[in-house]
Amino acid sequence: MKYVRDAKTIFLNAVGAVQPQNFLRNRVKVSSGKLHVDAETFPLNRPCHIVGFGKAVLGMAVEMENILSSNLRSGILSIPAGTQECFKDQPQLLLKNNSVLRIFEGAKDNIPDLDAMEAAKAIKDLCVGLTKDDLLLVLISGGGSALLPLPKFGLSLDEKQKIIKNLSKGGANIIELNCVRKMLSELKGGGLAQIAYPCRVVTLILSDIVGDPIDSIASGPTVENKDAHLAMEVINKYNVDISEIALNILQQPKLESFNYNHVANFIIGNNEIACEAAKRSAVNLGYNKVELFSKDIQGDVVDVAKRYLQIALDEVKKNETVCIIGAGEPTVVVKGNGLGGRNQQLALEFSKIACEAGLDFCFLSCGTDGIDGPTDAAGAVSTTVIGGLQEIDDFLENNDAYSFFSRYQNGEFLVKTGHTGTNVMDLHILILKPKT
């Protein structure tokens, strides 16, 4: 079990290194009456407001409130249900009692719900009231799409939810999902920036998408939507049924072009620091050979598992213990009706083929946000010991990895952290022992 413990320690250290406060402290400061973000400056001789949505924006807001102090007048945050309860013993991660920011919790299981929609409406109302004499800070992190749902006129939240759920189950990647979300939502795809005009908008983004595409992270509420014409292609590709209303919205010609000169978007962090911290942690645990495989892993979990197997087969020939780190965001085509998430599915998928190949390994796959699919686990860790279990195929087929890991080893292979307060995609840790 040493390797299971090590893999979990490496994951937790990596998550610890990407707490959003750290990113802001390094990149944002106030001096001489100005807000500095890297080399750019924004005069603070005006009231500042914050709106934020995503799994990491509470920590970002705590830090921003410290940085802005009395310049901050008002603000609204939309964060996942249960976040504050999770941090109740860590007051440094919560807003102060006299904070001017209002918090809404919603989107349980990452599904946009009425609570999140209330938050989106409040955010819209705040932005509508701003003038050119205000400064708006928009804090964005992954999970922001589900936390800012405001369907365009005539479309119900229910239908919007179903469209996105069916695309996701069909294996659509996040760029495809958000291409559709941008069209269906009032505030996404630049909508928030348009509503806030003529107020100066400064957006700080913690990236949870490979390549840091600012127009897709949380569906780019402050970035011009340049791929409106692709939304119907995505619907057709995954053969998703939609109503006449949704069809009309998706087929709408692009609105007249809008000038985004009042907006400055900044990526303040991504999964690079998590990968570096994971490597450091592995070295500190005594692994002499630590490799970063990739920080941009995408594609179906079945293919990703095969890629890891190939690497493992190559490495094992070298006859030394190695720790391989990977990061990114694979996808799952969900065909069954079991319970799981892409990390648990990947951990089970890889373990099955690695056992078949006779490898001696430990493999962890977890979301840095602490929540994998609609489960209470961040992901799972697995080892050689699951080899030979006949029923693995059934659990994989039924997308029921959570049930598998819950029953196996008393659930010890599930990694449970609760909300971590950050979100920089998934981490994979593969520890490989030489063949004896």
Ligand X SMILES: O=C(O)[C@H](O)CO
Ligand Y SMILES: Nc1ncnc2c1ncn2[C@@H]1O[C@H](COP(=O)(O)OP(=O)(O)OP(=O)(O)O)[C@@H](O)[C@H]1O
Which residues of this protein are in contact with ligand Y, per CB under 6 A? Answer: 55, 110, 142-143, 145-146, 168-169, 208, 331-332, 334, 338-342, 345, 367, 369, 371-373, 399, 423
Closest CA to 181 of 161, 195, 196, 200: 161
In the complex, least distance from residue 218 CB atom to ligand X, rounded to whole angstroms: 4
Nearer to ligand Y by C-beta: 146 or 290? 146
**Residue 307, C-beta contacts closer than 8 angstroms, at least 6 positions apart:** 297
Nearer to ligand X by C-beta: 178 or 417? 178
Structure tokens at 106: 């919603």
CB 364 within 8 A of CB 347: yes
Q: Counting contacts by CB under 6 A, is residue 217 touching ligand X?
A: yes
Q: What Cα–Cα distance (Å) separates residue 290 from each residue in 317, 342, 354, 428?
A: 16, 24, 19, 13
Q: Hunting for tokens 């692709």 — which residue is that?
A: 230
**219 binding partner (options ligand X, ligand Y, none; Cβ < 5 to 8 Å by kind):** ligand X
In the complex, least distance from residue 95 CB atom to ligand Y, rounded to whole angstroms: 22
Nearer to ligand X by C-beta: 209 or 348? 209
In the complex, least distance from residue 145 CB atom to ligand Y, rounded to whole angstroms: 6
Instruction: Name beta bridge partners: 185.
Output: 151
Q: Counting contacts by CB under 6 A, is residue 144 touching ligand X?
A: yes
In the complex, least distance from residue 363 CB atom to ligand X, rounded to whole angstroms: 24
Q: What Cα–Cα distance (Å) separates residue 113 from each residue in 136, 150, 343?
A: 25, 10, 24
Show the CA angle centred on residue 128, arms to residues 124 and 133, nearest 5°: 130
DSSP string spanning 282-345? Answer: HHHTT-S-EEEEEEEE-SBHHHHHHHHHHHHHHHHTT-S-EEEEEEE--B----S-----HHHH
**217 binding partner (options ligand X, ligand Y, none; Cβ < 5 to 8 Å by kind):** ligand X
- Residues 151-210 interacting with ligand X (rule: CB under 6 A): 174, 178, 208-209
**328 binding partner (options ligand X, ligand Y, none; Cβ < 5 to 8 Å by kind):** none
In the complex, least distance from residue 423 CB atom to ligand Y, rounded to whole angstroms: 5
In the complex, least distance from residue 162 CB atom to ligand Y, rounded to whole angstroms: 14
| Residue of the chain from 59, 143, 221, 330 that contacts ligand X (CB under 6 A) | 143
| Residue of the chain from 168, 219, 368, 383 that contacts ligand X (CB under 6 A) | 219
In the complex, least distance from residue 340 CB atom to ligand Y, rounded to whole angstroms: 3
Q: Counting contacts by CB under 6 A, is residue 329 touching ligand X?
A: no
Closest CA to 99 of 153, 46, 62: 62
Q: In angstroms, how far is the first alpha carbon of the chain from the final one?
A: 18
Q: Which residues bind ligand X (CB under 6 A)?
A: 142-145, 174, 178, 208-209, 217-219
